[in-house]
Amino acid sequence: MKRLAISILFLLLLALPALAQVADTTAREVVATGIGSIIDGDVAHARDDAIDDALRTGLEQSLGMLMESETLVENYQLIEDRIFSKTQGYVQNYEVVKEGKRDEMLYEVTLRAAIKLTDLKSDLDGIATLLRRKNTPRIVVLIQERNVGEGDRYFEADMNTAETAIMDVMMEKGFKFVDQTTVRANIKRQEAAAMLEGAPAQAAAIARTLGAEVAVTGKAIAKATEVEVFGSKQRSQQATVNLRAIRTDTGDIIATASAQGAFPHINDVIGGTKAIEKGAKKATEIIIEKILDRWNSDVSQGGSLSLEVTGISGFDQLAAFKASLPYWVRGLNNVNQREWSGERALFELQMTGNSDALAQRLSGKQGNGFTVKVTGMTQNSVSVKLVVQ
């Protein structure tokens, strides 16, 4: 019987690629219901929470493809460990079919959603839905570009081949950008150098002043080589492009990518430009897929939010605030305390929902002798102050 079980599991594993191909082309329709809490009479926010709750429920229904075998043991020897397979998916689109207050404290939404059990890098409808759920982040692109024969003049106006290629590819997918003319007009050369050469936190701070939620920075370098083809030498230009995407409000790196491009030409500058363009497009495709995977995970399973707390009177008050978070914040999965010094502490929260939802859930909450006051918010962070009652 054990041999038969192993044989069946082996056949199932062989069948998984075929099942994945079927899932890749088919959208599964689900009907799901979600609930949102009405806080301080804010029905609109409760409706948004209910939609997100319903979408997560619908996604969980579709992702029920889970196979897990019992561990088989024979003669005290482990002959087959646990087999685990989980299919990923995303919301392609959805339509609200029923909504309204359940009572004075809860808002209920029932929706019909199309779920696809595959990655979404080529699905424009799915990408558009994901971007809306992430509040359509704006992106700024600044690449340090060095072409063949151009020396060290990294920031000349006409050296933006990589930036243009990156934006072209990402705009085709629906990403939104800060206007590059505005970027060049408002960023100083010294700041650009710091953004490109410095730590992610420096790049994030500069990009945030430009009104961007995500910064794509990196380097594109082209070099010329000579190769021998059928007894004759041929001039070729090769480029390497390295990219990283950074959340501007926290400085976290959310994705990285690297790619090469080559283009043969008798003119090194022209060939180098074409090689950079090819390399930039390849790297952009890679980083897009990683960014979408990260954001899809954030909206479906919960993501990371930064919470800054000020006005702390001492350790006892800090401990009381931290202990109250699971009761105040719906969808909170984990709390990590990153810093505490004097009146300020920094937390990293793993939770379902966005920063607006976190601010709503914390605003006005009362603890042991203090009230929580929201003082600031970005796409991925919230700042609060503990006010003594």
DSSP codes joined into one string, 266-302: SSHHHHHHHHHHHHHHHHHHHHHHHHHHHHHHHHHH-
pTM above 0.75, yes or no: no
Residues 199, 184: Cα–Cα separation, whole Å: 21
Task: Please write the tens of the pLDDT for every residue from 148-166.
Answer: 764 444 334 446 889 999 9
3-state helix, strand, coil split of the chain in percent (to 5) is: 40, 40, 25
User: Looking at residue 139, what is its pLDDT?
Assistant: 93
254 residue type, one letter: I
Please give the order of strands across the beta sheet that includes 90-101. 27-37, 106-116, 90-101
- Domains of the chain by residue range: 2-118, 138-291, 303-388
CATH architecture of 138-291: 3-Layer(aba) Sandwich (3.40)
User: Looking at residue 170, what is its pLDDT?
Assistant: 95
Q: Backbone phi, then psi, for 15, in 5-degree steps?
A: -80, -15
Residues 273, 222: Cα–Cα separation, whole Å: 8
Given a contact cutoff of 8 angstroms between Cβ atoms, the answer to whether 177 and 171 are in contact is yes
In sequence order, what are the residues at sequence separation of 6 or more whose Cβ sits closer than 8 angstroms to the Cβ of residue 377?
355, 356, 359, 383
User: Looking at residue 231, what is its pLDDT?
Assistant: 65
In sequence order, what are the residues at sequence separation of 6 or more whose Cβ sits closer than 8 angstroms to the Cβ of residue 76?
none
User: Looking at residue 5, what is its pLDDT?
Assistant: 53
Task: Please write the tens of the pLDDT for every residue from 272-301.
Answer: 889 999 999 999 999 999 999 989 888 877
Positions of the chain with pLDDT lower than 50, given as ranges: 12-13, 16, 18-24, 65-87, 150-158
